[in-house]
Chains A and B, each alone.
Chain A
Amino acid sequence: MGRGPGGGLMTDMVFRRGRLLLWGGCLAAALALPLVFKGGFVISLLCQMGIMVVFALSYNMLLGQTGLLSFGHAVYYGLGAFVSMHVLNLLGKDGGPLAVALLPLAGGLAGLLAGVVLGYVTTKKAGTTFAMISLGIGELVAACALMFPGFFGGEGGVSGNRVVGKDNLLGFTWGPQIEMYWLIVAWAFLATVAMFALTQTPLGRMANAVRDNPERAEFVGYDTQRVRYLMLILSGFFAGIAGGLTALNYEIVTSETLNAHTSGVVLLMTFVGGIGLFYGPVIGAILISVMQIVIGGMTHAWLLYFGLFFLFMVLMAPGGIASVLAMQRTLWQARLLGRMLPHYLATAIPLLVLLAGLVGLVELAYALLAGEGATAGDAASRVLGMDLYLRSPVPWAAALAVSAAGAAGLYWIGGRMKKAWHQTLSTLQGDKA
C-alpha cells in the first residue's frame, strides 16, 4: 500500500469531497427510504436489495475487476449463510444483540476460508477454463449440500432466531424488520466502502492489469495466479458477509442459497447493471430485486422476460446500464445531450408499442399453454386484465399486429436515432481531438 504516490493517491481518491457527498447522499437516501415508504412489503424489499447489493458487488470483484467469469459464486454466499446460522444457533441464549450484529463477520470469514480452499483450485486458470471450473466446483458443493444433512439441514434447511438474550444494543434487539434493515444498511455501507477502497489499492489495480493483459502483468513481475487467488479470497469474504445478512434477515438458510440458480442470478444482476464501473452492480442489484418482486408478482412469465432482457442487454449494451448512463453523462458535459433527447423520446414510442405487443403474445401463450387456458378449453380466460377467448385468432392477431407495428416503427425511427447517435459521437470525438 505505501507504494510512494500510490498511498497518497489512495487517500486522495477515496476521500475527495465530491465523492464524500455522493456516498453520504446514498447513505442518507438508504436511511430515509423506509421513512417515506412505511409498508412491511417495501421494508422487506429494501432488505433484499441491500443484501443483493453486497453480493453483486462482491461478484463484480471477480468479473468486472479481475476478468474472472464465475458460475459458482453462490458457494461463498451460501457457505457464509450456513456458517452464520450455525454460529447464531450456537450462541443461543448466551449471545446478545452485539454478537448478532457482528454475525455477518462470521459469514465473511467462512466465505474467506472457502475462498482459500476452493480458490486454490479454481484460480489456477483464467478465462473460459476458470468459468468451467467454477461451475464444476459450484455443482460439487451443491451436491455435497444434499449429502450432508447434518450441516446443511437437508431439504428443510437450517433455521434460527435472530433475537437472542434479553438485552438490547442501543435499543436494538433486531426483532422487528425495520431494525434488521438498519443493520443491513450499516453492513452494506461498510462493505461497499471497503470494496471501493480495495479498487484503489495496488492489489485492485493489479487485478485490472491481470484482467486486461496478463502477459504484461507477468513481465512487470507480478504472479497473475496469486493476484486472481487473492481477489477470489476477498470476493469470497464479501459474498460471505452478504450470506450472513441473508441468514439473519430470513432466519432460515436452505441449500438453494448455494446452488447454480443463485450463482446465475447474481451473474445476471451484475452484468445488467454494468461490470465496467464500480456502481454498476449496485444499479443491477436494485433494479433486478425490484423487478423480481414487482413483475414476478404480476406474471408467471417473469423468468422469460428476465432472460429476454438479459439477452437484449448482452447484444445491445454489453457495458450494462451503468455504461449507458455514463455515456449520457459524457454527452451532458459536452452539451450534446440536448441533441439526442428528442431522438430518445421518439424511439421510446415504437419501443413501447413493440414491448406491449410482445408482452401480449407471451401472456397469451402462457395462458394457453401453461395456465388455466390449457384446461379451460373454449371459455374466456383473463389475460392482462381482459377476458379473451384463447382459441379464437383475434387476440393473437391483435398482439401480432401491435408487435409488427412496433417493430416497423422501431426500424424506421431507430435507424434515424442511430444516425444521429453516430453524428453526435463524431462531434464528441472531434471536440476531444
Chain B
Amino acid sequence: MEFVVMSMLNGITYGLLLFMLSSGLTLIFSMMGILNFAHASFYMLGAYFAYQISTWTGFWPGLLVAPLLVGAVGALVERYGLRRAHKFGHVAELLFTFGLAFLIEEVVHLVWGKVAVDYRIPLELDGTLFSLFETDFPIYKGFMMLVSVGMLLALYALLTRTRIGLIIQAALTKPEMVEALGHNVPRIFMLVFGGGTALAGLAGVIGGNAFVTEPGMAAAVGSIVFVVVVVGGLGSLAGAFVASLLIGCIQSFSIALSISITDVFALVGIALPEGSQVARLTITQLAPILPYLLMVAILVFRPRGLMGSRES
C-alpha cells in the first residue's frame, strides 16, 4: 500500500513535469507542424538560467524571470531562424531544431562547464510536507505539483476563455482564414513558439533542482518527451496529458520494483530456464527501456496514439 501510494505520488509529480514539456511541444506541433527537436534544450536552458539567477538573487525571482528569458530566446529563434527554414519545408525545419539542440548543448558546455552545477532547492521548500506510512513526502514535490497544476489551469483558461486563446485555436486549423480576418498569424506563431518554450523553461526551473542540472539533461528528457507525444497521439493535448501521467507512473513504479522477470513469470506459473541473462534482469534494470517498449506497442496496436485523431 505504502509502495503504491508513494510511487503513484512520485509518478504524478514526474508526469506533470513531463506534461509541461509535452504540452508546449504539442501546441507548437499542432499549430505550426514543427516538431521542435530542441524543446528539451529549452528545458535545460530554463534550469541553467534559474541556477544563474539563483546565485545572484535566490530562487524566487528565477522562477519568474528564467521562463520569460527562455520564452524570449524561443521567440527570437522562431523569428530569425525557423521562419527562414520554413520556406524550405518540414525536413529543413526539423533539421534546424536538431542543429539548435546540438548548438545549445555546446553553448551550455561553454558557459557552465561539462559537469553538473549546484542548483539547489530553496531552503523554504526543503523539508517534509507530510508522512505517509513512515515515508516522507517532500515539500518540494508538492510545490512542483502546485506549479504544474497552476500552469495547466492557466493554459486551459488562456486557450478557452480569452480572445487571444480563441484566435490561437482558430489559427491551429485555419491559418489563412484567420489571416484574412486581419490577424497577424506569423506573430501568433512567434508567440506560441515563445510560449511553448517558456513552458519548457518553467519545467526546467522546477525540475532542474529536483533532479540534476547538467548538460546531458536535455538528451535524457528529450527522447522521453517524444515518446509521450507519440503515445498520446500527435497534436492532442489531452492525449499528451494522459500519456505524460502514464509514463511518469511507469517510470516511478518500475524504478522501485526489484523483482526479476523470472519472478514475474513465476507469479503466473511459468518457470523460465535458469541462467539466461534476460531472465535475470530486474524490472528496475528494465526501467530505462519501458517507455520505448510502450511506444513500440502503441505503434503496433494503435498507430495514431491514445487520443490522436489523425493518421500522419
A contact set with B: CB distance below 8 Å: 63, 67, 69, 71, 121, 124-125, 127-129, 131-133, 135-137, 139-140, 143-144, 146-148, 150, 260, 264, 267-268, 271, 301, 303-304, 306-308, 310-311, 314-315, 318, 365-366, 369-370
A304–B107 CA distance with the chains assembled, in angstroms: 7
A310–B278 CA distance with the chains assembled, in angstroms: 41
Q: Does B295 reach chain A (CB closer than 8 Å)?
A: yes
A304–B98 CA distance with the chains assembled, in angstroms: 14
For residue B113, which residues in chain A have a CB less than 8 angstroms away from its CB? 369-370
A315: which of B96, B234, B281, B303 is its contact (CB, 8 Å)? Answer: B96
Please determine whether A128 and B103 come into contact, CB atoms closer than 8 angstroms.
no
For residue A304, which residues in chain B have a CB less than 8 angstroms away from its CB? 103, 106-107, 110
| Beyond A69-B94, A129-B230, A146-B288, 19 extra complex contacts between A and B, CB < 8 Å | A63-B91, A67-B91, A124-B303, A125-B312, A127-B90, A132-B229, A133-B295, A135-B226, A147-B285, A267-B95, A301-B106, A303-B102, A303-B109, A308-B103, A311-B81, A315-B81, A315-B96, A318-B85, A370-B110
For residue A264, which residues in chain B have a CB less than 8 angstroms away from its CB? 98, 102
B contact set with A: CB distance below 8 Å: 29, 33, 35, 81, 84-85, 88, 90-92, 94-96, 98-100, 102-103, 106-107, 109-111, 113, 219, 223, 226-227, 229-230, 234, 277-278, 281, 285-286, 288-289, 292-293, 295-296, 299-300, 303, 312
For residue B94, which residues in chain A have a CB less than 8 angstroms away from its CB? 69, 128, 131
A302–B95 CA distance with the chains assembled, in angstroms: 19
B219: which of A143, A146, A260, A366 is its contact (CB, 8 Å)? Answer: A260
For residue A139, which residues in chain B have a CB less than 8 angstroms away from its CB? 223, 292
Please determine whether A136 and B35 come into contact, CB atoms closer than 8 angstroms.
no
* Contact A143:B292 (CB < 8 A) given known A303-B102, A310-B102: yes
Number of A-B residue pairs at CB separation under 8 A: 118
A129–B295 CA distance with the chains assembled, in angstroms: 12
List the 5 shortest-distance A-B pairs measured between CB atoms, nearest first.
A307-B103, A140-B292, A304-B106, A318-B88, A310-B99
Chain A residue nearest to B95 in the complex (CB)? A314
> Can you name 17 A-B pairs with beta carbons within 8 Å?
A69-B91, A125-B299, A129-B234, A135-B226, A136-B223, A136-B230, A137-B292, A137-B296, A140-B296, A147-B285, A264-B98, A264-B102, A301-B110, A304-B110, A311-B100, A315-B84, A366-B110
For residue B110, which residues in chain A have a CB less than 8 angstroms away from its CB? 301, 304, 365-366, 369-370
Please determine whether B106 and A307 come into contact, CB atoms closer than 8 angstroms.
yes
Chain A residue nearest to B303 in the complex (CB)? A124
Chain B residue nearest to A146 in the complex (CB)? B288
Main secondary structure, interface of B, reads helix
A268–B110 CA distance with the chains assembled, in angstroms: 21
B102: which of A140, A307, A366 is its contact (CB, 8 Å)? Answer: A307
Please determine whether A128 and B312 come into contact, CB atoms closer than 8 angstroms.
yes
For residue B100, which residues in chain A have a CB less than 8 angstroms away from its CB? 311
* Contact A128:B296 (CB < 8 A) given known A307-B102, A307-B106, A315-B81: no
B109: which of A260, A267, A370 is its contact (CB, 8 Å)? Answer: A370
Q: How far is the CB of B58 from chain A (nearest CB, A)?
A: 24
Q: How far is the CB of A56 from chain B (nearest CB, A)?
A: 15
A56–B109 CA distance with the chains assembled, in angstroms: 27
A306–B98 CA distance with the chains assembled, in angstroms: 13
For residue A301, which residues in chain B have a CB less than 8 angstroms away from its CB? 106, 110
A143–B289 CA distance with the chains assembled, in angstroms: 6
Please determine whether A314 and B96 come into contact, CB atoms closer than 8 angstroms.
yes
A303–B99 CA distance with the chains assembled, in angstroms: 11
A136–B102 CA distance with the chains assembled, in angstroms: 18
